[in-house]
Amino acid sequence: RNPKRAATIEDLRAMAHRRLPRFALEYLEAGAGDEAALAGNLAAFYRWRFLPRALVDVRQRDLGRTLFGRRLPLPLLVAPTGLNGVFRKDADRLLALGAARMGVPFAQSTMSNNSIEDVAATAGLHHWFQLYVIDPPEITDDLITRAESAGCEALIVTTDAQTFGKRSWDIRGRVKPSILTLREVIDAGLHVRWWSTTLLPRGLPRFANLQRWFPKDKQGLFESAFWTRDHMDVGLDWDRAARIRDRWPRKLLIKGLLTAEDVARAQAAGADGAILSNHGGRQLDWVAAPLDMLPAARAAVGAGFPLLVDGGVRSGGDIVKAIALGADAVLVGRAPLYGVASAGEAGVIRAIEILRDEADLTLALLGCARIDALDRRFLVEEPG
Ligand code: FNR
């Protein structure tokens, strides 16, 4: 149970598997459809091998990176993930605390179970906010205003989940999607450590930043989740993105892009950066892995445009690979969730420590003292 005992992200994952009931675990882990995109994200990292330089003085190593004028201790961010309250009470506050402690930005999801203001109160936090464009537009407007007033440094507009992907586990064996089966309720009841630290203190979590918009008869967790799904603005397009750009005064990133054309279009539309992502394989199945699309995207926008990538990062070596292929930084979704699920704030800190220490060790063994000096020549694509 002590997260310090975890040597790898996989160890934290095993701890999370022991603590969480089945329904929460499936929500955390599953991908869409056949889970080909989910598997593909991991496989993309497997295809790259390191090519070390010999006899390099690596006594002084530097993992630090400047992103939007701020020095980060390592090129890592905690990705926005919704409904974290099913993993632990106040999970987003714990993620924010852990991220702040490690000097890493935390992106809070629109579907967070903590309010924007609550998370913004975390001392020393680089607080980013992820926006889902919801219809009616007053809701989206309200979220932007609140994120601005709360001092969020950056706004991430997620583009790849306006229509929800097919998550088979959420349908199979159910009368209605997302309503728990009797078997799942019993399984949840057997996970005493989970419900005593998650449900008991406050009951089922609520979507803290949307609650006031839900109709009176749609206030419950599942009803409000359906309501939100049915009110995602499927008409979201580049014009709407441009209007959000005009409205938001700080850094704006567009998340969920994969093609070089879309990344160039985001740059032309005035975005400050783009996030190559397939939503952790949870949306369109069989979609390309973001890592594979990175070199072409980088070539399209040149060196100066911040390009972030996520999907499948489970080790410090993965971070090094993504940076060598042209990313400015990577985001991690599941890795810190394993941490917060298994051990709260201490688990989040441990997840980030593991990634940092592995990245540092990789640089030492690679013969590259500074992460800023990485490039494609430190990698070779596995034949076949
Ligand atoms: C997500 N992701 C996500 N993205 C987003 O923009 N808004 C959201 O609310 C969510 N919710 C969410 C929930 C859960 C449980 C997961 C695992 C993921 C996607 C997330 O930001 C990120 O793109 C992926 O998680 C990256 O892949 P890895 O690191 O999980 O492999």
SS3 per-residue string spanning the chain: CCHHHCCCHHHHHHHHHHHCCHHHHHHHHCCCCCCHHHHHHHHHHHCEEECCCCCCCCCCCECCEEECCEEECCCEEECCCCCHHHCCCCHHHHHHHHHHHHCCCEEECCCCCCCHHHHHCCCCCCEEEEECCECCHHHHHHHHHHHHHCCCCEEEEECCCCCCCCCHHHCCCCCCCCCCCHHHHHHHHHCHHHHHHHCCCCCCCCCCCCHHHCCHHHCCHHHHHHHHHHCECCCCCHHHHHHHHHHCCCEEEEEEECCHHHHHHHHHCCCCEEEECCHHHCCCCCCCCHHHHHHHHHHHHCCCCCEEEECCCCCHHHHHHHHHCCCCEEEECHHHHHHHHHHHHHHHHHHHHHHHHHHHHHHHHHCCCEHHHCCHHHEEECCC
> How far away, in angstroms, is 222 Cα from ligand 1 center?
19
ipTM of the complex: 1.00
At residue 286, the pLDDT reads 98
Which tokens in the block code for residue 172? 């199979």
Place of tokens 């892995």: 289
At residue 175, the pLDDT reads 73
At residue 384, the pLDDT reads 67
**Is residue 145 part of an annotated ligand binding site?**
no
CA distances from 303 to 64, 98, 306, 325 (A): 18, 31, 8, 12
Tell me if 333 CB under 6 Å of ligand 1: yes
Distance CA 278, CA 264 (A): 17
CA nearest ligand 1 atom 25, residue:
333
Regions of the chain where pLDDT drops below 70: 177-178, 384
At residue 46, the pLDDT reads 97
> How far away, in angstroms, is 282 Cα from ligand 1 center?
8
At residue 248, the pLDDT reads 98
Active-site amino acid positions: 279
**Is residue 64 part of an annotated ligand binding site?**
no
Give helix 22-29 / helix 182-190 axis angle, nearest 10°.
100
Q: The pTM is what?
A: 0.97
Please list the residues that pair with 329 across neighbouring strands. Answer: 308
**Is residue 314 part of an annotated ligand binding site?**
yes
Distance CA 193, CA 191 (A): 6
> How far away, in angstroms, is 81 Cα from ligand 1 center?
5
